[in-house]
Chains A and B, each alone.
Chain A
Amino acid sequence: MTAKQSTQPKLRVSGATKVYNTRSGDLTAIDGCSLDVMDGEIVSIVGPSGCGKTTLLWSMSGLHGLTSGEVLLDGAPVTGPNPEIGLVFQEANLLPWRDLDANINFPFEIKGTKPDRAWINELLHRVGLDGFGGRYPRELSGGMQQRAALVRALSYKPSLLLMDEPFGALDAFTREEMNRLVEEIWMDTHTTIVLITHSIEEAIFLSDRVVVMSPRPGRVASIHEIPFPRPRSLDIMASSEVFNLMNTIKMEIVGSRQSRYPQGGTAASPQPARAAE
């Protein structure tokens, strides 16, 4: 754990399988997912809804166990909540009975540690929330709430940030703004980030690699390298490479679905590329 080799991934998921025992029988959410995330990397996970993305992320966070397989953080197995991991949820998930300051103090209250005020103030300044400490969540816009949630997750300096569709509830413009913010924070901290998203554009904008998952049971179907330098400009995002990449990924996710009507063009039935294992 201490001797950090350059080849050791920050996060290693190997053979992750999770079966839920439901009333209507066993439900395999993810099946043999393997993925390495290197230190300082941003990896997005995309896939059709219900493919087990959130299950995979929750397993990475140690919030629930796996039926088989394992998750290693810096080589050590993750078996429960880990102080090195920060989690950002769908919707901001702020506690409505606490003001912003108290929400950000929440992790420290639970852990029984002293918050690093200087760092938190810097984060609040960065996301443009200075002076809002006494406000309650209901008094903040959706974007502000999610920015506060980001500050809360980064407040205790995790070395791995897991985000579960963090900006799905926001409008398109606010979402883009949040993406810039994450990029900016990454440029400063180089925190390893794994995020789940439904937006292929968001995935490409933020990530070093985009992982495409297959429909349930979720498996890693393919991994795409996103080689563009950061910060990624609008020009890069408007380039034909990005356009082609977006379409390729989209085809992989929705391509197998056929319309009831005859296809207009030549029916190129794209097969999702299976990741070689």
Chain B
Amino acid sequence: MSETDAIPEFKSRGAGASDVGITNMSALTSGPGIKSLREVVAIALVAVIVIGGTEALLNIFAVPQYVLPKPSEIAVALVTEFPLIAPHLGHTLVELFGGFAIGASVGLILAAVITQFPFAEKIVTPYILLLVTTPMLALVPLLILRFGFGYEPRIIAVALASGPMVMINAATGFRRVDQAKIALARSYGASTLQIFWKVRAPMALPMIFVGLMVGSIFGLLTAVGAEMVGGGFGLGNRLTSYSSMIQMPQFFAVVLILSILGILIYVFFFLMGKKFASWEA
């Protein structure tokens, strides 16, 4: 006998558009899209004015390079130094992907499991919140003491920073139970596992993407931060090393690479969200 002894909430939550996640997911998927040639021209024009204007101002006021390098100098540094920076980019990516893969998997599984047990969830949530709000960078010196200057402390820090972020968002998604849709599946004789995979998981997907995006950005921050703390490689290490040698164009070239990396992460999850969770927007 399949029993629900709570009074069922009979109302379906509408045809998908009137739910909690709409604000969250639409922030991801309803970004401004480029529509016409006019817009493209306008965007390019503004970019030229901003970059060119910066270049001109720095020239006019003869701002020294160690205060702020000119965009042209940064561009030159990016091209000439890239062969030297590239291996460090590789190291940062290894830390980011390694740590994020571990953190996100654990976070997702934990979110899926814990939301099935409201009582356990209440007990665990404070610790998750603690993990979310504590900057994991603070642990890096300790981790270095224990694991040395290799990949390990950084991967652990990235996992600790991204995992709870993924978990807390995914849990929000899994908690969005729509009794009518679960009842629908049950009326066809669906098992608990089928209900999870065919109703709960798809319903949580938009929030999962939000969690993955925020988590990976947090992971990137933590990876670079950890590299600045110690160890002889990675983009964060390049930042400290270039700034100590007052090589500002090179320094900003690394900053530019980090910005591009962040944007790529955002665009990736934006597109994933659009493909797999656009039903909510």
Q: Looking at the assembled complex, report how far the CB atom of B55 sits from the nearest CB atom of chain A, in whole angstroms.
A: 48
**Interface mask (B46-65 → A, CB under 8 Å = 1, otherwise 0):** 00000000000000000000
Contact between A91 and B189, CB atoms less than 8 A apart: no
**Interface mask (A90-119 → B, CB under 8 Å = 1, otherwise 0):** 111111110000000011011100000000
- By a CB distance below 8 angstroms, the chain A residues around B35 are none
- By a CB distance below 8 angstroms, the chain A residues around B184 are 87, 89, 93, 106
Task: State A109–B15 Cα separation when bound (angstroms).
Answer: 21
- By a CB distance below 8 angstroms, the chain A residues around B188 are 81, 106-107, 110-111
Contact between B187 and A81, CB atoms less than 8 A apart: yes
Contact between B189 and A90, CB atoms less than 8 A apart: no
List 9 additional A-B contacts (Cβ < 8 Å) besides A20-B5, A22-B7. Answer: A64-B4, A65-B3, A89-B184, A90-B12, A90-B180, A93-B181, A95-B202, A111-B188, A137-B279
Residue A54 is within 8 A (CB to CB) of chain B in the complex: yes
Task: State A107–B185 Cα separation when bound (angstroms).
Answer: 7
- By a CB distance below 8 angstroms, the chain A residues around B203 are 97
Residue A145 is within 8 A (CB to CB) of chain B in the complex: yes
**Interface mask (B258-281 → A, CB under 8 Å = 1, otherwise 0):** 000000000000000000010110
A interface residue numbers (CB < 8 A to B) = 20-22, 27, 29, 54, 58, 61-65, 79-81, 83, 85, 87, 89-97, 106-107, 109-111, 136-138, 142, 145, 164
Interface centre among A20, A81, A164 (most CB of B within 10 A): A81
B interface majority secondary structure = loop
Q: Looking at the assembled complex, report how far the CB atom of A74 sits from the nearest CB atom of chain B, in whole angstroms.
A: 18
Contact between A96 and B186, CB atoms less than 8 A apart: no
Kindly report which residue of chain B lies nearest to residue A83, judged by CB atoms: B189
Contact between B183 and A63, CB atoms less than 8 A apart: yes
Q: Looking at the assembled complex, report how far the CB atom of B62 sits from the nearest CB atom of chain A, in whole angstroms.
A: 58
Residue B123 is within 8 A (CB to CB) of chain A in the complex: no
- By a CB distance below 8 angstroms, the chain A residues around B205 are 97
Contact between A93 and B194, CB atoms less than 8 A apart: no
Contact of B12 among A27, A91, A110, A138 (CB under 8 A): A91
- By a CB distance below 8 angstroms, the chain A residues around B7 are 20, 22, 27, 29
Kindly report which residue of chain B lies nearest to residue A140, judged by CB atoms: B15
Contact between A138 and B190, CB atoms less than 8 A apart: no
Chain B interfacial residues counted at CB < 8 A: 34
Contact of B2 among A81, A91, A92 (CB under 8 A): A81
Interface centre among A62, A65, A93 (most CB of B within 10 A): A93
Task: State A106–B182 Cα separation when bound (angstroms).
Answer: 12
- By a CB distance below 8 angstroms, the chain B residues around A145 are 15
Task: State A119–B1 Cα separation when bound (angstroms).
Answer: 31
Contact of B11 among A20, A85, A90 (CB under 8 A): A90
Task: State A274–B185 Cα separation when bound (angstroms).
Answer: 37
Kindly report which residue of chain B lies nearest to residue A79, judged by CB atoms: B1
24 chain-A/chain-B pairs, Cβ below 8 angstroms: A20-B6, A27-B7, A29-B7, A58-B8, A63-B183, A64-B2, A80-B1, A80-B189, A81-B186, A87-B187, A90-B12, A91-B12, A91-B15, A93-B12, A95-B181, A96-B17, A97-B203, A97-B277, A106-B188, A109-B198, A110-B189, A111-B188, A137-B15, A137-B16
